[in-house]
Structure 1
Amino acid sequence: MTVSGGCRCGACRYEVALDAVTAVYCCHCTDCQRWTGSAFSEQAVVPAGAITAAGPVIDYTLATPSGRQSHQYACGTCHARLWNVSSLRPDLAIIRAGTLDENRSLEPRAHIWVRSKQPWIVLDDDVPQWPEGPDFEGFFAALSR
């Protein structure tokens, strides 16, 4: 199975070779709020090696407060962020779910950094939540359900 997506202007396109439909989660941290200009970001975890891209994809690398490297891959034309890879888990990529072609049917399976969420957002109690960053075991179990 292949999942496709791209940037706002159409200059960059990507494909992800997956065995199953991508599970998404929402991050409510203030960094994601600032990156998106919205209340949260919707993201999907995929194997980094499964992504192939075409177009002017640029790598904006930044150091996190913990000293890790975060590679933010974006369109070199419209600067829409497409995915990122962290030095903490270089085998995983975090795709911006809104850039997927078929994103309307995706429902979040987890919420992280909910202590920073906007107060008007009401979350479903049946969806796992973490006040800050999740523990990997519980987080991946939530995404796999």
Structure 2
Amino acid sequence: MITGGCRCGAVRYTIALERMPRSYACHCTLCQRASGSSFAHQMPVPEAALSVTGELLTAGVTSVSGAVSTGYHCAACVGRLYSTNSRWPGMAIVRAGTVDGSERLTPALHIFISTKQPWIALPRDVPAFEESAPPAELATILELAPPA
């Protein structure tokens, strides 16, 4: 069982998986703005495995591709915990920093490095993509089922 929560503790979650999933770092400018940081460290999990307690606020954004991303935030501290995306039905994209024991997570790949901050040095042995990784390759690296 994997656990995590927001910064104030009003929202907690469990992920019913036997082992920690793989994570990735997205360096796109949208993730930079949404996270207020230089990239978003994210961990896809099956949405059915995620159980949340506490009050959530949701906010949806439609990308230029037409995909809808819905963010789930703590109603008290407004910390973003996870999101869903119409491009990956059935998946929740958990913000890796909200996971208890997040120091054990190292990105298995980096995407949108064409817009990464220039001072970030990426490890040579981790796959990196100028833009998004092709869906099948992303699924293989993250050990996920490919999107429908």
Normalised TM-score (structure 1): 0.94
Q: Distance in 2 between matches of 1:44 and 1:123?
A: 18
Q: Distance in 2 between matches of 1:35 and 1:63?
A: 13
Quote the residue 2:88 is aligned against. Answer: 89
Quote the residue 1:31 is aligned against. Answer: 30
1:1-145 paired onto structure 2 within 5 Å: 2-144=1-143
Q: Distance in 2 between matches of 1:68 and 1:141?
A: 21
- Unaligned 5+ segments in structure 2 are 144-148
Aligned AA for 2:16? A
Equivalent residue pairs, number = 143
Aligned AA for 1:85? T
User: Percent sequence identity over matched residues?
Assistant: 41
Q: CA deviation at 1:143?
A: 2.1
Q: Distance in 2 between matches of 1:108 and 1:49?
A: 23
Q: CA deviation at 1:136?
A: 1.4
Q: Distance in 1 between matches of 2:122 and 2:22?
A: 17
- Unaligned 5+ segments in structure 1 are none
What do residues 55-109 of structure 1 show as CA deviations (whole Å, max 9, x unaligned)?
1112212222222221111101111110101111121111000000110111111
Q: CA deviation at 1:33?
A: 0.7
Q: Distance in 1 between matches of 2:67 and 2:108?
A: 26
Give the SS at the match of 2:122.
coil
Q: Distance in 2 between matches of 1:69 and 1:112?
A: 19
Q: CA deviation at 1:19?
A: 3.1
Normalised TM-score (structure 2): 0.92
Q: CA RMSD in A?
A: 1.0
